[in-house]
Structure 1
């Protein structure tokens, strides 16, 4: 097992913020090299930070950075383009902040955290360029749109259930009901309260229709970029534009996730023993990337109900006495393995 300290002469820890980045350099033995330096996050400031790294170090350099997908994204891309190895580090837990908290302390922690790792445990940042960037932005926008759509739908349902209007809203609102409400106008016999309530209900309904149109356009955008990057994913049962986009964004590129077992762990699908006495069972890891977990669950759900090969497997395991939840756990793990191999056998 090769350690980071054996592979790199220096490790640079970077604590990222909106306005400034703070850098600390450690040699391969853990000794501090020089003093902490802080640079602005403007393009000239990032260039100066890169020049400082080149000036202060010799030999192979690893940059351990917090927030490579947010505050540190531009600096990460700049260093990667220059051929510098960058790894993502996690912020220190509160319980281990014995030295307090300042930007130089956090930068040093990032460097020491990476210095103590085996090479295979380094976290490679996600791809932030081109189609990957477009998919990331569209998925983030989609999550916000779905949240807004759900909130508008709940508010409209509450209004209609609270004030009647002659609609049967005992169950969830249908698309036709939303269209009817969106076309409402003030009634001559409405009192001042009902005029306001009816107008608000119509506004919420129009908001729902607008969000639905935006979600449709969002999915078309996702499909365009998925076809450009990994059209073969769309050939898999239960993988549409949204699921494929999440798979691409989470996986990112070859070499980022070292094995299918690591991918399953990353997706929150790694089996963990949960046995007791004569009962032998497993549960799934509850951490990881929950958006990726959801994407794999959508594929599992589709195959569970619509794929003949999966249906035959479910029937076989049911006869063995397995419960539906136990079968679904196994299916999720199998599908995670399969999708990782599909992704890893192609270059994006």
Structure 2
């Protein structure tokens, strides 16, 4: 008789510029493992393989799906993993439990398990992204115009 596969209800990822810290918990919230992964395509492949090796992946909670975690969120979603946007823990919770990448990764996973996290990751497409792109271009044009008029006045 083989042991039943553990249901990995949640993975949690604390995103950063160079390294993402990932953690997994089971369906009752027990911490299973944590690992750091580089923020490049090879690191994303390794993270996905590591998650799947832990058991069945139900969902992954992640901070920063519109910033440091945007590319990873798109990769995981395209790979069939449900990604949930997780808000940063409030200051009171951070003071009570401390602050580290490992703690934040586990907090993201438990937020998914408890239902506290239910946000939809930013997709970087659609009307919001179109408006953002227009604002970036406009800001750049205003800056260039201001610099040009300042130089002309000198």
Q: TM-score, normalised by structure 1?
A: 0.38
Q: 3-state SS of the aligned residue for 1:90?
A: coil
Are residue 202 (structure 1) and residue 145 (structure 2) matched?
no
Against the structure 1 CA distance between its residues 202 and 25, is the aligned structure 2 distance closer, same or farther, given a 3 Å change threshold?
same
**Is 1:126 matched up with 2:122?**
yes
CA distance in 2 between counterparts of 1:142 and 1:95 reads: 39
Q: Higher relative contact order at CA 8 Å, sep ≥6: structure 1 or structure 2?
A: 2
CA distance in 2, matches of 1:112, 1:37: 16
Q: Aligned residue for 1:14?
A: 13
Instruction: Give the whole-Å Cα distance in 1 for the aligned partners of 2:47 and 2:111.
Output: 21
TM-score normalised by length of structure 2: 0.80
Q: Is this contact kept in 1: 2:8–2:54, CA < 8 A?
A: no
Q: For the Cα contact (< 8 Å) 1:14–1:107, is it kept in 2?
A: yes
Helix, strand or coil for the counterpart of 2:97? Answer: coil
Give the Cα–Cα distance (whole angstroms) in 1 for the partners of residues 11 and 127 of structure 2.
26
Query: How many correspondences in the alignment?
Result: 147
Deviation string for 1:153-203 (max 9, x for gaps)? xx99xxxxxxxxxxxxxxxxxxxxxxxxx6xxxxxxxxxxxxxxxxx4635
Task: Measure, in 1, the Cα distance between the counterparts of 2:38 and 2:128.
Answer: 24
Cα deviation code 1:258-296 (max 9, x no counterpart): xxxxxxxxxxxxxxxxxxxxxxxxxxxxxxxxxxxxxxx
Contact 1:77 1:128 in 2 (8 A): no
Aligned Cα root-mean-square deviation (Å)? 3.0
Q: Structure 1: 5+ residue runs without aligned partners?
A: 1-7, 157-181, 183-199, 205-348
Asked if 1:88 is matched to 2:85, the reply is yes
Distance 1:57 1:139, change over 3 A: farther
- Higher percent of residues as helix: 1
Change (3 A) 1:77 1:109: same
CA distance change for structure 1 residues 55 and 203 in 2, over 3 Å: closer, same or farther?
A: farther
Alpha carbons of structure 1 residues 143 and 23: separation in structure 2 relative to 1, 3 Å: farther
Larger Rg belongs to: 1
Local SS of the residue matching 2:60:
strand
How far apart, CA to CA, are the structure 2 residues paired with 1:83 and 1:127?
15
Query: How do 1:90-105 and structure 2 match up within 5 A?
Result: 90-97=87-94, 98-105=96-103
Cα offset, 1:127, TM superposition:
2.0
Which structure is higher in strand share? 2
Aligned counterparts of 2:138 and 2:111: Cα–Cα separation in 1 = 32
Q: Which residue of 1 aligns with 2:140?
A: 145
Q: Provide the C-alpha distance between the structure 1 equivalents of 2:129 and 2:51, rounded to a whole number of angstroms.
A: 30
Alignment partners' CA distance in 2, 1:24 and 1:30:
11
Q: Determine the C-alpha separation between the residues in 2 that align with 1:111 and 1:133.
A: 28
